[in-house]
């Protein structure tokens, strides 16, 4: 059995060993450093009586006085000097251990909130570039559809789909992209895989509808608007509707019909030939909403947030092809 001697008390290093009152050790270190119970209590945010109580508890545990009062202030007894020396080494080792733990700990992940459609059809393809250019910043991607969820406090930065009117750069947000809306479809639905020169042929092609009937999501998303612009009368009734743009685009990729899509979401599929434009670019409509990147005020100076925002703003975007 190993014994450790501190002053006049013997601590036995076995299963039944007892530990000194740690709040008393903290009070002792502060009181001795300041040579004053008053200043120690101010530092610790305690009353003088509370500090004195903790010191008495420690002295009872050790079994001998540790501090004595002198005209110049508190000073340590021989037992107090021995304990102080032990504490000094322990605190130094704890500081070194804390620094070692911080150095060894992986950096916290940057929590990025984004809508499912933008994540699936645009961002996930580009995140490897961020990881390559910023290897010290791990990213945790969270799909948040509702605006309230996207603004939640557990996010470090969020990409939001917001009404474009009145949007401006601030200390907490930047405009990411103003998109265009246009119809696209699977190549097999479009003979020649080129935009229609005879727009009346659109009436014979299956249409995919996003959102509930009569729901106002902007005129650019209404097939009625597009048919009126093209002089085609009214579109046929919708047989299938999709709640989100992500599922509507998925249906178009499967060859189920023509979808009104946002440019950022289909630019990769157009480039790869998985989708094609149905109408010439001159028919495109600007979206009434825009993508913005936003962060909480507390994260404004966070280097991880700055790096991500700078990267996403500089990532190439193809508004029209």
What's the pLDDT at 96? 66
DSSP one-letter string for 197-230: SSGGGGGGS-B-EES-TT--S-GGG-HHHHHHHH
Q: Which one-letter DSSP state was computed for residue 73?
A: E
* pLDDT score recorded for residue 106: 62
The confidence score (pLDDT) of residue 105 equals 59
Q: Give the DSSP H/E element, type plus range, for residue 125.
A: helix 124-133
pLDDT at res. 99: 60
Determine the pLDDT at residue 300.
87
**Residue found under tokens 């930065």:** 157
In which residue ranges of the chain is pLDDT below 50? 1-15, 148-150, 320-321
Residue with tokens 């019909």: 257
Residue ranges covered by each domain of the chain: 3-104, 110-314
CA distance 44 to 152: 35
Map tokens 């002053």 to a residue: 7
pLDDT value of residue 104: 56
| pLDDT of amino acid 153 | 59
Domain 110-314: assigned CATH number: 3.40.190.290
Q: Can you tell me whether residue 56 is helix, strand or coil?
A: helix
User: Could you tell me the two tokens for 88?
Assistant: 């000094």
- Taking CA atoms, 111 is separated from 123, 151, 176, in Å, by 14, 12, 18
Domain 3-104 has CATH 1.20.1250.20: no
pLDDT for residue 213 = 67
Residue 93, pLDDT score: 73
pLDDT value at residue 9: 43
Strand residue runs (E) in the chain: 3-6, 9-12, 67-70, 73-76, 110-114, 139-143, 157-163, 173-185, 209-210, 241-242, 259-262, 276-277, 285-294
Residue 86's SS3 state is helix
pLDDT digits (tens, 9 = 90+) for 129-167: 999 999 989 999 998 765 544 455 589 999 998 888 878
Contacts of 44 (CB under 8 A, 6+ apart): 26, 27, 30, 51
* Residue 318 CB contacts under 8 Å (≥ 6 apart), including other chains: 263, 267, 271
End-to-end, the C-alpha distance of the chain in Å comes to 80
Predicted confidence at residue 17, as pLDDT, reads 64
- Would you give the distance in Å from CA 140 to the centre of its chain? 7
């Amino acid at each position: 059995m190993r014994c450790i001697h501190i002053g006049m008390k013997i601590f036995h290093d076995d299963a039944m060993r007892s530990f000194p009152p740690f709040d008393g050790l903290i009070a002792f270190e502060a009181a001795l450093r300041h040579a004053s119970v008053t200043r120690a209590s101010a530092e610790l945010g305690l009353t003088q009586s509370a500090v004195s109580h903790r010191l008495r508890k420690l002295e009872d545990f050790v079994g001998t006085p540790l501090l004595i009062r002198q005209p110049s202030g508190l000073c340590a007894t021989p037992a107090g000097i021995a304990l102080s020396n032990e504490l000094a080494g322990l605190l130094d080792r704890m500081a070194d251990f804390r620094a070692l733990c911080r150095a060894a700990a992986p950096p916290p992940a940057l929590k990025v909130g984004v809508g499912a459609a933008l994540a699936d059809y645009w961002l996930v393809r580009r995140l490897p570039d961020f990881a390559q250019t910023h290897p010290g910043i791990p990213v945790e991607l969270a799909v948040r559809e509702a605006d309230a969820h996207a603004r939640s406090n557990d996010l470090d930065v969020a990409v939001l789909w917001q009404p474009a009117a009145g949007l401006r750069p601030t200390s907490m947000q930047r405009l990411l992209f103003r998109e265009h809306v246009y119809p696209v479809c699977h190549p097999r639905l479009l003979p020649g895989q080129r935009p229609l020169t005879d727009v009346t042929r659109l009436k014979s092609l299956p249409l995919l509808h996003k959102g509930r009937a009569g729901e106002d999501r902007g005129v650019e998303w209404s097939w009625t608007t597009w048919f009126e612009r093209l002089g085609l009368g009214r579109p046929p009734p919708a047989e299938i509707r999709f709640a989100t743009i992500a599922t509507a685009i998925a249906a178009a990729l499967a060859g189920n019909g023509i979808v009104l899509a946002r440019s950022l979401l289909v630019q990769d599929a157009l480039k790869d030939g998985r989708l094609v434009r149905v109408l010439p670019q001159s028919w495109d409509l600007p979206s009434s909403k825009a993508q913005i990147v936003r962060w909480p005020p507390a994260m404004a100076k966070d280097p991880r947030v700055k790096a991500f925002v700078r990267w996403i703003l500089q990532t190439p975007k193809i508004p029209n092809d």
